Amino acid sequence: MSGHMPGSIRGAGLLALVLSVACHHRGKPTATAVGPDSAQGVVSIVGTGFDQQLVLQGAAATRPTRLRITTEADSAALTRLGGVEVLVRGTRADDGFRVSTFTAVRVGASPVVDGVLRLDGDHVVLETSTGRTTLGNPPDALRRMIGARVWISGPLATGPNSYGIIVPAR
Amino acid sequence: MRVRRHVWVAVACFLVLIGAASCGGGGTTPPPPPVLTTITVTVSPSSIQVGQTATASASGLDQNGASIAVGTVQWTTGNASVATVSAAGVVTGVGAGQAQIIATSNGKQGQASITVTAVTVAQCSSSTTVQMALGEIRTLTAAQTVSLCLGGLTAASEYVLIPFNNSNVAAQTTSIQLTSTNTVAVTAAVNLVPSNGIRLQALPGPNPQLEIAFRERERRDLAFLNGSARTQKRASSLRASTQLTGVPTNPTVGSIVQLNSNINGSTCSAPKIVHGARVVSVTQHVIVFIDTLAPTGGYTDAELAAFGTSFENVGYGLDTLNFGAPSDIDGNGRVGVFFTTGVNNIPSPAGGGFIAGLFAGRDLFPITTCIASNEGEMFYLPVPDPDSTLNGNYTSKSALSNTVLGTLVHEFQHLINAGRRIYVNNALVNSEEVWLNEGLSHIAEELLYYRESGNVPRSNLDLSIVAANAAQVAAINTYQLQNLGRLKSYLAATASNSPYAQNDNLPTRGAIWELLRYSADQRGGNERDTWFALVNSTTSGQANFNAVFGNIITNTRDWAVAQFVDDLSLNVPARYQNLSWNFRSILPAITTGSRFPLNTNPLVAGTPLSLDIIGGGAAYVRFRVTASTVAALAATSTGQPTPANIDFILVRTQ
């Protein structure tokens, strides 16, 4: 049979299409403005107990890059990543690198995964920007940190056995 | 032609009816779809030892006996004291016995049995059983870490097992589990050198530990601007016209200069709070200033001048001899000591505490890039405030005055370190890493202690020496008690702290001070050369440490062993000794219960021990093996062999 669909039904269909698109985008977080630059290196805390600064150490024998962080929360988190190789994104400036986001990538020669610990039923999972990974047999310490942002290394199917805290659970 | 709405509805209903008609009545009845009916669980292997793992898997059958996908399985154990099972079906043996491993999916269940046996000595033989001499220290092989047979001696023996995390990233925490058979708790404390009853009393007034706790507070200058410090500008080019202070080269006693007293918040870019600073005394290398807004009842001019003289005669020479001369960006050949309300006005943490003094790196930079700089080498110290007009934590003048000289030598190391990096050595990094920077300043405090007490390094100082008379007690209380207290806080939690942790927490400070002292003693030679090399490095952190002492991991591991075995009369090699201090003698004198404050863990048969150890951290696990008995030990990490970043050092202690 041929003929045009009634306008009300066509309108309903269009509305459904719009809603489906909106629902699809609702799950994606609103992107914050992230600068166009990136840098990778090991985080160090330099200075004195009273007067500390965060720097990013690249290749050996090169001058480190000063990190400029605008929130206490990010400053505390990056401090906990001292000694860890991270990827920072933001904007380079004359007085350092203005950090928008950061991700732990490696500890020594071992790659790490950076994410938030969640519970999925009885399973402990690590939620990253690309999805969720079930931790096969996490240490008890990690089981007690649900909600914390951590980095982990070691075999995920039977572990992991090593980890570091980035943002403690609230 | 436009089709009417009701026609579309009719079409839809027609399609529905056809579909319904096709579902029943008339013609061949299709068979019911297969549904999961039976779950079969397999555990392989079906028998494991405590600490080992097995793999559980599940398969399904439908109502017709055909294979069918099981779907998502929920794994549970029937006896968690015998075996646990992870979400991925990894079964871990926890205790001897039998347990059912259960798989649940879509309302169906299946199960299989697992047998867990204790770590057995059945495999131990005379050829595989390790027998150690008293005082022997050995690093376990990977195979011995998985399964170690130990003992079988005619007499009982005691041991300490030291798992050490050899990662050079302190932030890396690794979890391990230890299990054993035929080990019992130690029966008595190891032979401590007993305290003679003398306690090192803290001086009256605010608890110095509060000052230490306050130093622990982290401060970050979020907008600290010193990018231009990496210019090759010579110090001399910063003189005269760029000086905020206008402090003349030879200031007149009684004259007043203007200094920025604001050292709260962003020290570089925060608004200046300029105070009048009256010149109290001028010596060859030191100018003492007093804030004109200091509350009444504080230091007298004579007392202030005495501070300057003391620093001139003792502290200045001590630090410059060991670390090098400071920079001189203001061209006056002196350092300023500014007693100011600016320190009092820094908010105290909850619970109180005072800042004994500080150095602000901003003062080494020109105001063109650091607008709050005072452009000169100087320190800031608090003023007494007897009536609590500013801050209730600075009421005791005597408590504050006793910290002045020690604070100045501590802060002077920071100043020398930073100034020489920027203006003398052209270091890659303006500032040393915090852990090492604070460690060096604590060494400065220790050097002051030696100077004032007349004692010397590498003389294994014990309580009989450091508490020999009132003068000795005063010296250690005034100049070294802080270091000992920080060390004590480290020894209480060695697994969760590290000498090279990227922080300035008290345990970190205590650990790095002691590691530096240990390493300098092991290095030997003129230790002035050691300190000078560290402060004048063009690198920082572990690279700096390694250049002077060799591998930091090797040093830290041997030092960690020394924490337990030093001064235990075990005749251990020198690399396992703290050559300057007998901490087993001294620390009980400042510890509740007069005990050595090193935290240890018992390993008792049948009771698995879980430990979380950070990079550079160590745990101390003690156990006893009775006579004519062979013990078996095993170490795992989440059910698997321990990773390569954990070393196990075993010592026979009795």
Dump the DSSP string for B476-518. HHHHTHHHHHHHHHHHTTSSS--TT-SS--HHHHHHHHHHHHH
Query: What value does the mean pLDDT of chain A take?
Result: 80
What average pLDDT score do residues A8-20 get?
39
Inter-chain residue contact A9 with B8, CB threshold 8 Å: yes
Can you give the pLDDT at residue B20? 43
Q: How far, in Å, CA of B8 to CA of B267, rounded?
A: 76
Can you give the pLDDT at residue A34? 62
Q: How far, in Å, CA of B566 to CA of B576, rounded?
A: 6
Q: What is the pLDDT of residues B441-495, one digit of tens each?
A: 999 999 999 999 999 999 999 999 999 999 999 999 999 999 999 999 999 999 9
- Structure pTM? 0.82
Inter-chain residue contact A95 with B227, CB threshold 8 Å: yes
A10 part of a folded domain: no
For residue B437, give the nearest of A5, A48, A94 by CB distance.
A48
Q: How far, in Å, CA of B624 to CA of B218, rounded?
A: 43
What average pLDDT score do residues B567-577 get?
95
A144 part of a folded domain: yes
| B36-117 under CATH 2.60.40.1080, yes or no | yes
Strands (E), B182-307: 256-260, 274-282, 286-291
Query: What value does the mean pLDDT of chain B take?
Result: 86
Instruction: Find where tokens 């080498």 sit.
Output: B377
Can you give the pLDDT at residue A170? 85
| B129-192+596-652 under CATH 1.10.20, yes or no | no
Chain B interface, best mutation among A137, A152, A153, by max B CB count within 10 A = A137
What DSSP letter does each residue of A26-55 carry, written as one string? HTSPPPP---SEEEEEEEEEEE-SSSEEEE
Inter-chain residue contact A141 with B503, CB threshold 8 Å: no
Can you give the pLDDT at residue B468? 93
Q: How far, in Å, CA of B96 to CA of B108, rounded?
A: 29
CB of B431 less than 8 A from some CB of A: yes
pLDDT exceeds cutoff 90 at B47: no
Q: How far, in Å, CA of B640 to CA of B638, rounded?
A: 6
pLDDT band at B5 (very low <50, low <70, confident <90, very high): low
Pairwise pLDDT comparison (B327 vs B231), residue with the higher score:
B327
Q: What is the pLDDT of residues B354-409, one digit of tens each?
A: 889 999 988 998 888 788 899 999 999 999 999 999 988 999 999 999 999 999 99
Asked if A58 and A94 sit in the same domain, the reply is yes
Instruction: Find where tokens 């990894």 sit.
Output: B90
Distance from CA of A29 to the nearest CA of B (A): 27
Can you give the pLDDT at residue B266? 58
Per DSSP, what are the bridge partners of residue B378?
Answer: B336
Q: How far, in Å, CA of B151 to CA of B158, rounded?
A: 9
Asked if A126 and A150 sit in the same domain, the reply is yes
Instruction: Find where tokens 């050949």 sit.
Output: B333
Inter-chain residue contact A96 with B637, CB threshold 8 Å: no
pLDDT exceeds cutoff 70 at A7: no
pLDDT exceeds cutoff 80 at A24: no
pLDDT band at B193 (very low <50, low <70, confident <90, very high): very low
C-beta neighbour count of B65 within 10 angstroms: 9
Can you give the pLDDT at residue B246? 55
Asked if A89 and A139 sit in the same domain, the reply is no
Contact B510, B486 (CB under 8 A): yes
Query: What are the angstrom distances between the C-alpha of B277 and each of A116, B260, B304, B340?
Result: 52, 9, 13, 8
pLDDT exceeds cutoff 60 at B527: yes
Closest-CA residue of A relative to B74 is A122
Contact B122, B51 (CB under 8 A): no
Q: How far, in Å, CA of B155 to CA of B512, rounded?
A: 39
pLDDT band at A5 (very low <50, low <70, confident <90, very high): very low
Look at chain A and count its residues: 170
Cβ contacts of B501 on chain A, cutoff 8 Å:
82
Query: What are the angstrom distances between the C-alpha of B487 and each of B64, B483, B513, B548?
Result: 71, 6, 8, 23
Q: What is the pLDDT of residues B238-257, one digit of tens each?
A: 333 334 455 677 889 999 99
Q: How far, in Å, CA of B129 to CA of B59, rounded?
A: 43
β-strand B286-291 against B335-339: which pairing, if any?
Answer: parallel
Among candidate residues A68, A100, A132, the one where a domain is terminated: A100
**Distance between alpha carbon A92 and the CA centroid of its chain, in Å?**
20
Inter-chain residue contact A108 with B169, CB threshold 8 Å: yes
CB of B322 less than 8 A from some CB of A: no
Q: Which two tokens stand for residue A164?
A: 């570091």
Contact B314, B321 (CB under 8 A): no
Pairwise pLDDT comparison (B314 vs B18), residue with the higher score:
B314
Contact A139, A117 (CB under 8 A): no
Inter-chain residue contact A44 with B433, CB threshold 8 Å: yes
Contact A88, B478 (CB under 8 A): no
Can you give the pLDDT at residue A10? 43
Among candidate residues A49, A70, A100, the one where a domain is terminated: A100
Asked if A116 and A92 sit in the same domain, the reply is no
pLDDT band at B127 (very low <50, low <70, confident <90, very high): confident
Inter-chain residue contact A141 with B433, CB threshold 8 Å: no
Asked if A94 and A57 sit in the same domain, the reply is yes
CB neighbours of A146 closer than 8 A, spacing ≥ 6? A117, A118, A119, A124, A169
Phi then psi for residue B240, to 5 deg, are 55, -95
Q: How far, in Å, CA of B80 to CA of B68, rounded?
A: 30
| Residue ranges making up the domain that contains A153 | 112-167
Instruction: Find where tokens 């290749």 sit.
Output: A59
Percent of chain B with pLDDT over 90: 67
Instruction: Please state the domain extents for chain B.
Output: 36-117, 129-192+596-652, 223-429
**Secondary-structure breakdown of chain B: helix, strand, coil percentages, each rounded to the nearest 5:** 30, 25, 45
Inter-chain residue contact A52 with B219, CB threshold 8 Å: yes
Chain A interface, best mutation among B1, B57, B222, B225, by max A CB count within 10 A = B222
What average pLDDT score do residues B553-581 get?
97
pLDDT band at B413 (very low <50, low <70, confident <90, very high): very high
Inter-chain residue contact B5 with A9, CB threshold 8 Å: yes
pLDDT exceeds cutoff 70 at B14: no
What CATH number is associated with residue A42? 2.40.50.430
Pairwise pLDDT comparison (B579 vs A5), residue with the higher score:
B579
Among candidate residues A47, A70, A100, the one where a domain is terminated: A100
Total number of domains constituting chain A: 2
pLDDT band at B196 (very low <50, low <70, confident <90, very high): very low
Contact A88, A75 (CB under 8 A): no
A117 part of a folded domain: yes
For residue B433, give the nearest of A6, A46, A163 by CB distance.
A46
The yes/no answer to whether this complex scores an ipTM above 0.95 is no
Q: What is the pLDDT of residues B156-177, one digit of tens each?
A: 999 999 999 999 999 999 999 9
β-strand B90-93 against B83-85: which pairing, if any?
Answer: antiparallel
Q: How far, in Å, CA of A65 to CA of A74, rounded?
A: 17
Cβ contacts of A62 on chain B, cutoff 8 Å:
428
Closest C-alpha to B517, from B503, B534, B538, B505: B534
Inter-chain residue contact B170 with A136, CB threshold 8 Å: no
Per DSSP, what are the bridge partners of residue B149?
Answer: B129, B632
CB of B654 less than 8 A from some CB of A: no
Cβ contacts of A136 on chain B, cutoff 8 Å:
86-88, 90
A89 part of a folded domain: yes
Chain B interface, best mutation among A45, A66, A144, by max B CB count within 10 A = A45
pLDDT band at A26 (very low <50, low <70, confident <90, very high): very low
pLDDT exceeds cutoff 80 at B222: no
pLDDT band at B27 (very low <50, low <70, confident <90, very high): low
AA letter at B78: G
Cβ contacts of A145 on chain B, cutoff 8 Å:
none
